[in-house]
Structure 1
């Protein structure tokens, strides 16, 4: 199996991908997980080698309202179907990540039902209670009840769940809503899991706060780099690359402590092609993702340039979590140029594996352009992004070989990026 240093993840929301009903109205058992096996070759052709799965455990609706951590959602299939998927992935050199929803459970979680029927039952210890004895909901979502992370029983449960699925071949975990769980909890669970599975990669979902402390004190390998995500798309959408410049400074400090999990799209946010809006500027979001330090992830559909807006309403995530057909050629609305761009940039990254831990230095920045030097121990790249109408020239540091870009090239000893162009060059 590959290490995080060489892993690029393809992130899929399984219930949506396979076309399962997520409203709770139709929970007919159907073996849909094998559909994902048919897409593993696409994952490899993209240049990725990790399959990051959204929630797959038995749940009431959207996957985050868990019923049973030890059972695959019947709308997806069976444990045997998951093992078949894992084994098919491993045969192709692909790691598999599961989504661990360990902050809260759904209303149909059996122990929760018992606790609601009898507040004195031992099961009640599993759930967080407010000052007047009421069960605490997760961030106001009444259907999601928060687990009591101070209870040893909860730590034992999560340790058992993670170990159980690692025993069946899982290589990595995303810890959902890790930012809401006390850090001490992860520092209890993760060492116990790693006793049996020392190579497991653990990434926590953290939106804001002290990323370094979460990794250092929680024992995780990485957290989600939402600051960089926002810096990238905001800078392009608002024509303000000073925001990306600020995010890059922060990103360097994170890289001093750990390698962040980087992305420009996931199952919780408006698609990058809709955030950026101007098609000419989509490459300006992708180039940083694949040239900056980090462990990159591509959210399924983004590689085809799909558009979709997340809405704050019931079912508001459906558009960004679509069903996929049997083969890439059948994806409605796919843009082959965007797929080629992903392959080109991922290929560039594969040829420069040192980018995993590279640091960046801003050479020049304005509202409509930014030029950055990305450096490793022995070599460096120059990345120049221009969303304005005037060309951008870089003479220092001296550019060498031109590696990738559009409406850009070398003019003697200068790297020239035309209006709305971008470039990646080797530093001379």
Structure 2
């Protein structure tokens, strides 16, 4: 049955919660329970259009001879670039076929980019331009495909949780202004009308006849009201951190929805927000999803975010999902953007924020040797500026990742690209991912990083060039490394194997998931210890960076070599109360392997490590 209004899903959303049904009832619905804690999980984020179409075969597996074949002529290069602007036809069935690949990698939670129905005539392959909030976009598949994917992920064979990317702040490009694409000025602009299926604004901005379903206007019909949209034009280039412009303005052509005032207390939810709460209750009840990643929380305001989090958490608990996860994207270019993200988590009831911006920049640059390691570790250290006394607080409240689909912190000046776009970083990506998996936070891998995707292809005339960091994992006409027609699901890839090894160790060692975190001092001579630091602003650290995770008097020591070309060795300070003299620590990683002796060095305990170029190690 086509779902056109909130009334059409009430029987699903408001059926008796299983917690309150007799155990003998034939109507009992067993929903998938939440994990004990989300910081035990390893996330994997993908855009379904760019991940898999299910047609990958062994004879089409990528090798380096395919590099650049799609851009061997000017015409081919332009065709490859143009392909990246549009849908390349990855789908939900393809994603389901790759659960084994992800399970073997060590992934325990899938974060799937938006799968809801987009404006039919637009190129919003990324999923953030929704026209029908109650349907799966047919280019991704069907609602049954989504349910089958989640059921398979939950199965004993794969044992994964699934988090869906959702949007409340805006819809797709569903109406046309009377005067085309105005910029934000603070005034409310006249609207010509909703777009019909033929991409003409011939429908009035109000309730439309059901005959325009599914491709005309916006659905559910409760959103077909002028008061559901701010109608204030698009955010200008200098307005992304200006209030109230970034609350009320449109994301380019995506139309801003009225969610209510920023004030989180004494909040009265407007009609559009109440409608979207019912929509996202429905998807929990219908698909058994385990969490949501909420797009553009900063642009929603704390009041609407707090209301939504309260409603969804309470509803999920009725279904037995006591720790239903709500992750907020709280992006900011401001210097104190990270602090604002954490404060937003506290004020709104979000479970976690994405560690983008400054956190991501430091996580990227530490293994590259471009920042002092303490700059990254101090982002977590006791959370002093938040008046939080525990390392554990940030461990549960932050999702960290090196690459992602936006790379907001790099911006126009640097150009968007992946970690491996930088010279030498392809030799350091395994160490970078090990840092991501073995430091505080909920670690997340962006699809393709485990295959060392470089995200290159930036064209200075095309601004941000998001498409280049959204390569097609299955190849098609927009494959990574400027290729086409070959896929990248290579389980023998050295980076894939490195992640697999670290993920297994992390799963065994609770200290790597929940322990406190300490940056360790090192020494070249065993006498003079200090933190690894750059010589000056222009230099690059090439050497060993080490840290410990400590949990219940158990210390796990982690180290990386930030030099992509040469090996290094050093004494590493360890906890002398946990490790008295002449005890040993053993390598949990296969290489270098063996044991090392804990030696007294003055008033310290220390171990001597030798790491090859770009190598990492974990010891216990």
TM-score range, shorter chain: 0.7 to 0.9
Q: Does 1:283 align with 2:412?
A: no
Q: Which runs of 5+ in 1 are unaligned?
A: none
- Partner of 1:264, secondary structure, is coil
Check whether the contact 1:228–1:251 (CA below 8 A) recurs between aligned residues.
Answer: no
Structure-2 separation of matches of 1:315 and 1:22: 13
> Do 1:32 and 1:76's aligned partners in 2 also have CA atoms closer than 8 Å?
yes
Residue 310 to residue 58, structure 1, CA distance change in 2 (3 Å): farther
Question: Which residue of the partner structure matches residue 11 of structure 1?
Answer: 45
Contact 1:395 1:415 in 2 (8 A): no
Give, in angstroms, the shift of residue 355 of structure 1. Answer: 2.7
Q: Deviations over 1:304-330 (max 9, x none)?
A: 22222374738933333233349xxx7
Q: Secondary structure at the match of 1:374?
A: strand
Query: C-alpha separation between the residues in 1 aligned to 2:90 and 2:457?
Result: 28
1:256 and 1:307, CA in 2 relative to 1: closer, same or farther beyond 3 A?
same
Correspondence for 1:123: 225
**Secondary structure of residue in 2 paired with 1:146:** coil
Asked whether the 8 Å contact 2:404–2:446 carries over to 1, the reply is: yes
Residue ranges of structure 2 left out of the alignment (5+ in a row): 1-32, 55-82, 178-190, 196-200, 208-223, 241-249, 261-268, 332-336, 384-390, 408-416, 476-485, 522-531, 535-540, 599-606
In structure 2, distance between residues paired with 1:143 and 1:371: 46
Q: Aligned-pair distance for 1:404?
A: 2.2
Aligned to 1:217: 347
What SS does the corresponding residue of 2:252 show, helix, strand or coil? strand
Residue 32 (1) aligns with residue 91 (2)? yes
- 1:351 counterpart = 2:529: no
Preserved CA contact (<8 Å) 2:355 2:401? yes
Q: 2:588 aligns with which of 386, 400, 403?
A: 403
Report the CA distance shift for 1:172/1:81 in structure 2 as closer, same or farther (over 3 A).
same
Task: Supply the distance in 1 between the matched residues of 2:512 and 2:448 (Cα, whole angstroms).
Answer: 24
Please show how residues 387-402 of structure 1 align to structure 2 within 5 Å: 387-388=562-563, 389=566, 390-397=568-575, 398=579, 400-402=585-587
Q: Is the counterpart of residue 424 in structure 1 residue 618 in structure 2?
A: yes
Q: Distance in 2 between matches of 1:363 and 1:201?
A: 33
* Rg (Cα) greater in structure: 2
Contact 1:15 1:56 in 2 (8 A): no
The RMSD of aligned alpha carbons is: 3.2
Deviations 1:376-403 (A, max 9, x none): 2331212222224542221543562222
TM-score scaled by structure 2? 0.61
Identify the range of structure 1 (177-186 vs 341-350) with the bigger mean alpha-carbon deviation.
177-186
- How far residue 179 of structure 1 moved from its aligned partner, in angstroms, is 2.0
1:90 is the counterpart of 2:154: yes
Q: CA deviation at 1:424?
A: 1.7
**Deviation of the 1:303 alpha carbon:** 1.5
1:408 Cα shift?
Answer: 7.9
Q: Where does residue 470 of structure 2 map in the other structure?
A: 321
Structure-2 separation of matches of 1:407 and 1:126 = 60
Q: Does 1:384 align with 2:540?
A: no
Written as runs of structure 1 = structure 2, the 5 A alignment for 1:305-320 is 305-309=452-456, 311=458, 313=462, 316-320=465-469
* Preserved CA contact (<8 Å) 2:34 2:290: no
Structure 2 counterpart of 1:144: 254
Q: 1:177 to 1:304 in 2, by over 3 A?
A: same
Partner-residue secondary structure (3-state), 1:77: coil
Going from structure 1 to structure 2, the CA distance change for 1:310 and 1:372 (only over 3 Å counts) comes to: farther
Q: 1:405 touches 1:422 (CA, 8 Å); kept in 2? A: no
Instruction: Say whether residues 1:233 and 2:358 are aligned partners.
Output: no
- TM-aligned CA deviation for residue 236 of structure 1: 3.3
Q: 1:126–1:88: structure 2 CA closer, same or farther, 3 Å change rule?
A: same
Name the CA shift for 1:47/1:249 in 2 (closer, same or farther; >3 Å): same
Q: With structure 1 as the length reference, what TM-score do the two structures score?
A: 0.86
Match in the other structure for 1:166: 284
CA pair 288-401 structure 1, distance change in 2 beyond 3 A: same
Q: SS of the residue aligned with 2:312?
A: helix
Native 8 Å contact 2:434 2:499 kept in 1: no
Preserved CA contact (<8 Å) 1:128 1:136: no
Q: Measure the CA separation in 2 of the matches of 1:377 and 1:211.
A: 30
Instruction: Please point out which of 419, 425, 430 is paired with 1:272.
Output: 419
Aligned length: 415
- On the 8 A contact 2:327/2:351 being kept in 1, the answer is yes
Distance 1:173 1:120, change over 3 A: closer
More strand per residue: 1
Q: Do 1:19 and 1:324's aligned partners in 2 also have CA atoms closer than 8 Å?
A: no
- Cα distance between partner residues in 1 of 2:457 and 2:342: 29
Measure, in 2, the Cα distance between the counterparts of 1:374 and 1:310. Answer: 38
Q: Could you say which residue in structure 2 is the equivalent of 1:205?
A: 329
Q: Structure 1 residue 102: deviation in Å?
A: 1.6
